[in-house]
């Protein structure tokens, strides 16, 4: 029954798109991407060679997407199929986006239904607090004036047999209500809350050219009152960009109530296609290494919560027509961790 409801909602939005076209040609787009790489890791327990991608994406992953938009831009649908398992493991393909959408009342109201992909009332950086990506339900967005969006996400109940149901939302889904307001060339602010008894807010300052200044925060009102903060700052000076991502978590229920991480980065564009990158990180909780553009925790051992750990790496990227070749290394000072060398080839079409 639930599958049928989702399919009907998606088809209703597609039907609205077809009606809006009225014999005009629609716009259809497709996209594809794949990630593959290897790492030679040298932990103290012995050297190993493994499939590895320096970013969060699993090596061997691929993704295929398709979108349709009516000629007047008022309706359409999106679909995306993804495999995130290494090539030597299961090749099961997951549907992580399948939704229809329609704009009404001159664009003041947008309705989406299905497995969603909306970030309108989400914060701007890595956490994207308030996002509805790969969440099953309906999203309503009201934009009464330019720059203001007020949104509400209503989830469909999770299925009891998630593995057998392609429409099962990933990681659970909570109702979300929030708002985003953008002042052009100045700042975008976002605030909201969800049914897990948490509130979130964010600010993305755009007033200074070449400056990155983003704040994300989420505060749980449940037991423990966990608070998560992230600050992303950076400044570009011609080909040189310097910055740092800083994260703090305070949770009285955790074994270490206060955990933190800081990661300064330097990037230098040798040419339009070639860039050199340096990263240093320090943290007292392995969970804080999610900030790193080098996801070394995929292979190297992690330290104990509460211990101060250090690491650093360097890599070079070659970008050409959707292909990114990355090669570099990372050293972790965590006990029994060691170092790794890696090379990755990522392709987006």
Query: Do residues 115 and 97 touch, judged by C-beta distance below 8 A?
Result: yes
Q: In angstroms, what CA-CA distances link 245 with 25, 186, 223, 238?
A: 45, 21, 28, 21
For residue 44, what pLDDT is reported? 67
For the record, the structure tokens of 11 come out as 């088809």
For residue 3, what pLDDT is reported? 46
Three-class DSSP category at 16: helix
For residue 161, what pLDDT is reported? 47
Element (H, E) at 105: none
CA distance 206 to 225: 31
CB-based burial of residue 90 (10 Å sphere; 0-12 exposed, 13-18 middle, 19+ buried)? exposed
Residues present in the chain in total: 349
Number of other residues whose CB lies within 10 A of the CB of residue 33: 16
CA distance 340 to 324: 20
Q: In angstroms, what CA-CA distances link 39 with 4, 244, 326, 330?
A: 44, 25, 12, 10
CA distance 212 to 266: 14
For the record, the structure tokens of 203 come out as 């600010």
DSSP 224: T
Tens of each residue's pLDDT in the chain, 349 residues: 444 444 445 544 545 444 444 456 789 999 999 888 888 988 766 788 888 877 766 777 888 999 999 999 999 999 999 886 655 555 677 888 999 999 999 999 999 999 999 999 999 998 899 999 888 899 999 999 999 999 999 988 754 444 444 444 545 678 899 999 999 999 999 999 988 889 999 999 999 999 999 999 999 987 667 899 999 999 999 999 999 999 998 888 877 788 888 999 999 999 999 999 999 988 887 666 555 667 777 777 777 777 788 889 999 999 999 999 999 999 888 777 788 899 999 999 9
Q: Name residue 250's beta-bridge partners.
A: 227, 258
For residue 24, what pLDDT is reported? 65
Q: In angstroms, what CA-CA distances link 140 with 175, 233, 235?
A: 12, 32, 36
Q: In angstroms, what CA-CA distances link 124 with 83, 132, 171, 178?
A: 26, 13, 21, 14
CA nearest to 333, candidates 307, 315, 298: 307
DSSP 168: P
Using CA atoms of 113, 119, 122, 123 in order, give the dihedral in degrees to the nearest 10. 170
For residue 162, what pLDDT is reported? 45
CB-based burial of residue 320 (10 Å sphere; 0-12 exposed, 13-18 middle, 19+ buried)? exposed
For residue 299, what pLDDT is reported? 77
CA distance 9 to 179: 24
């Amino acid at each position: 029954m639930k599958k049928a409801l989702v399919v009907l909602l998606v088809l209703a939005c597609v039907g609205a798109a077809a009606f809006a076209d009225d014999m005009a040609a629609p716009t259809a787009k497709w996209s594809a991407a794949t990630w593959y790489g290897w790492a030679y890791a040298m932990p103290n327990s012995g050297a190993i060679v493994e499939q590895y991608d320096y970013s969060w994406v699993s090596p061997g992953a691929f993704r295929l997407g398709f979108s349709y938009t009516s000629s007047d831009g008022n309706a359409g649908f999106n679909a995306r199929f993804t495999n995130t398992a290494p090539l030597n493991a299961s090749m099961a393909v997951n549907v992580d986006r399948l939704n229809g959408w329609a704009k009404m009342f001159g664009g003041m109201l947008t309705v989406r239904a299905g497995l969603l992909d909306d970030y309108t009332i989400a914060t701007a950086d890595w956490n994207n607090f308030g996002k509805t990506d790969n969440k099953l339900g309906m999203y309503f967005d009201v934009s009464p004036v330019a720059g203001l969006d007020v949104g509400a996400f209503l989830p469909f109940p999770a299925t009891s047999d998630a593995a057998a149901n392609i429409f099962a939302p990933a990681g659970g889904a909570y109702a979300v209500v929030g708002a985003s307001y953008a002042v052009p060339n100045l700042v975008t602010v976002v605030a909201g809350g969800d049914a897990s008894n948490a509130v979130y807010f964010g600010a993305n300052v755009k007033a200074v050219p070449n400056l990155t200044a983003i704040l994300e925060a989420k505060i749980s009102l449940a037991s423990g009152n966990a608070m998560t903060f992230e600050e992303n700052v950076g400044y570009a000076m011609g080909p040189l960009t310097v910055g740092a991502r800083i994260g703090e978590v305070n949770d009285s229920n955790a074994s270490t109530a206060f955990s933190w991480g800081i990661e300064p980065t330097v990037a230098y564009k040798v040419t339009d296609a070639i860039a050199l990158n340096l990263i240093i990180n320090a943290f007292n909780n392995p969970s804080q290494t999610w900030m790193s553009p080098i996801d070394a925790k995929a292979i190297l051992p992690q330290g104990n919560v509460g211990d101060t750990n250090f690491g650093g790496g360097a890599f070079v990227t070659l970008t050409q027509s959707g292909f990114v070749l990355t090669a570099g290394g990372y050293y972790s000072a965590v006990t029994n961790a060691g170092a790794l060398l890696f090379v990755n080839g990522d392709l987006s079409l």
